[in-house]
Amino acid sequence: MAEVKRKKGEQFDALYRRFQRRIQSSGKILQARKIRFRKKDETSNKRHSSALRREEKRTKFEYEIRTGKRKIEPRRHSRGRR
């Protein structure tokens, strides 16, 4: 953490500017922005269970198509209209 002590007679604005400069030069803001939305790695058990869930849903979907309970609908465009 960047630490700045207030000098005698220094105004808050000057102290704040000095603090901002110290933070910028340390690179802490860039580091924080890089890891801001980073997800933690999933455990192998979690990946395995989600893969099983997807496979189960896929087989159920295919079964419903074969039996006629579900109709195949054309895919819609993912982008909005212009």
**What's the pLDDT tens digit per position in 5-48?**
899 999 999 999 999 999 888 888 888 888 888 888 889 999 99
Note whether residue 57 is domain-resident. yes
Query: Is 53 inside a domain boundary?
Result: yes
Whole-number pLDDT of residue 81: 60
Domain membership of residue 79 (yes or no) is no
**Residue 16 belongs to some domain of the structure:** yes
pLDDT digits (tens, 9 = 90+) for 59-80: 999 999 999 998 888 888 777 6
More confident residue, 82 or 52: 52
Number of domains in the chain: 2
Record the pTM.
0.44
In-domain check, residue 77: no
Sequential DSSP letters for 10-62:
--HHHHHHHHHHHHHHHTHHHHHHHTTTPPPPPPHHHHHHHHHHHHHHHHHHH
Q: Give residue 82's pLDDT.
A: 54
Residue 1 lies in a domain: no
Whether 82 is in a domain gets the answer no
75 domain residue, yes or no:
no
Domain that holds residue 65: 44-69
